[in-house]
Amino acid sequence: MTTSIRERLDAMRAFYAEGHTREPAFRKEYLRRLQEAVKAHEQEIAEALYADLHKSAEESYISETAIVLAEIRDQLRHLERRARSRRVPTPLFLFPSASRIIREPQGVVLVMAPWNYPFQLALDPLVGALAAGNCVALKPSTTSARTCRLIGNILGEIFPPDYVSVFDGDHAQTAELLEYRFDHIFFTGGAAFGRTVMEKAAAHLTPVTLELGGKSPCVVDRTADLDTAARKIAWGKLLNAGQTCIAPDYLLVHRDVKEELLEKFRRYAMHFYGGDFRRSAAYPRIISDRAFTRLQSYIDTAERIVWGGEYDASERFIAPTLIDSPDPGSPLMQEEIFGPILPVMNFDDTESAADFINAREKPLALYYFGRKADGLRLIGRTASGGACINDTIIHIANPRLPFGGTGDSGMGRYHGRFSFDTFSNLRAVAVSRRRTDLPLRYPPYGRSFGLLKKLL
């Protein structure tokens, strides 16, 4: 007999009510078990990611497994300190009370993961939710089917189903899950479905974290070291064949250095993947026919392809492609690309580059290559979830940096202590003495009000 979603969630609430997850020692024990399981299944994880996305074992480890292991290490190292209540100063007029902040788990939370980094983006928030003491309903993406099944198997070996429950059903199951009340919903994916998640959560006044995407600009100034810039941009763009929420989505290049930068980009892209992208065992493929068709349409309608443009529907292969000066109003420049296609726009000064960025929705990331001072000024004039100066993507790998979006690119932050706080209720507690009191606060005030005003 199949257990219904309601029955599974009721069992999770009953398990949470028993109080086991409130104990730091309990949390750490299961995080250690997860850590060992991820290490033990490293080869299977790589095989699943290759089957789903044609990722090499090296790329899978660097961009997925290693990030999850780093998050587990960070939470294990700091969990007890993060879980501890913290005293804060109390104003004199509240004498003789004391004040503290207690971090308590939220309860039963829902984590919804996408297909593009199916292991990392499922387990990374899961680790933060467990560290904070929650029970977790995890919904991986079935689009990356092999990885989804493997996640279910790994977590099923470790966790009681009332503690961590993996929901690996279709879109109908996702829709049904969103009808139930959770204590927090953490969603990673596209903005369109993110709005649906927020709408469903609003019916229960459930707080949400939305990790979305957007068109992340990459600005290359004439002061940039073009060799280093080209290498880092090619790596950041072609990682996972561009199917990365923080991949450089379009280039804004100073007119004086454009041709040289593009030539170096081509050279590094070919060096990374052996010169023949189609035959490269390290060059990923597009996840689905639907995604391939969308990307193909960008190429077919492009007016000026300066490099690449080859594709093969039978393999869902799309070569790295540079498109020069597309119409800013075209779908290519209005939609998140999520593929190995890179539009290239010119600029003459950083003020015009900032204006171009600010005329669009706030991106998840912003990249600048050039002098640090100029990069900081550009960051100060624009808005984005995160940013790198003279690099791409690396900010996501530091568990001490908050990761998240702003505006259309999302809301909320996670990684490290930011995950712990996201999945915690910060409870304000004031403790007064049983018998000692300050009579000034009680009416009738009379002359004592003057003293009370000074204290306030």
CB contact at 8 A, 88 and 118:
no
CB contact at 8 A, 34 and 45:
no
CB atoms within 10 A of CB 334: 12
Indicate the DSSP class of residue 255: G
Residues in the chain: 456
- Closest alpha carbon to 30 in 157, 161, 159: 159
Is 29 a known active-site residue? Answer: no
204-209: which pairs have CB atoms within 8 A and are 24 or more residues apart? 206/181, 206/182, 207/106, 208/184, 208/411, 208/412, 209/125, 209/184, 209/185, 209/404, 209/410, 209/411, 209/412, 209/413, 209/414, 209/422
Single out the catalytic residue among 59, 71, 211, 336: 211
Indicate the DSSP class of residue 403: B
DSSP string, 148-163: HHHHHHHHHHHS-TTT
Is it true that the peptide bond before 444 is cis, omega within 30 degrees of 0?
Answer: yes
Is 351 a known active-site residue? Answer: no
Q: What is the 3-state secondary structure (H, E, C) of 85-128?
A: CEEECCCHHHCCCEEEEEEEECCEEEEECCCCCCCHHHHHHHHH
CB contact at 8 A, 227 and 271:
no
Amino acid identity of 161? P
Give the C-alpha separation, 6 to 180, whole Å.
8
Beta-carbon contacts of residue 340 (< 8 Å; ≥ 6 apart): 237, 238, 241, 242, 308, 318, 319, 320, 321
Single out the catalytic residue among 135, 148, 218, 245: 245
Describe the strand order of the beta sheet including 424-431 as a list of residue ranges.
86-88, 98-105, 424-431
| Structure-block tokens of residue 266 | 């081509």
> Active-site residue numbers?
211, 245
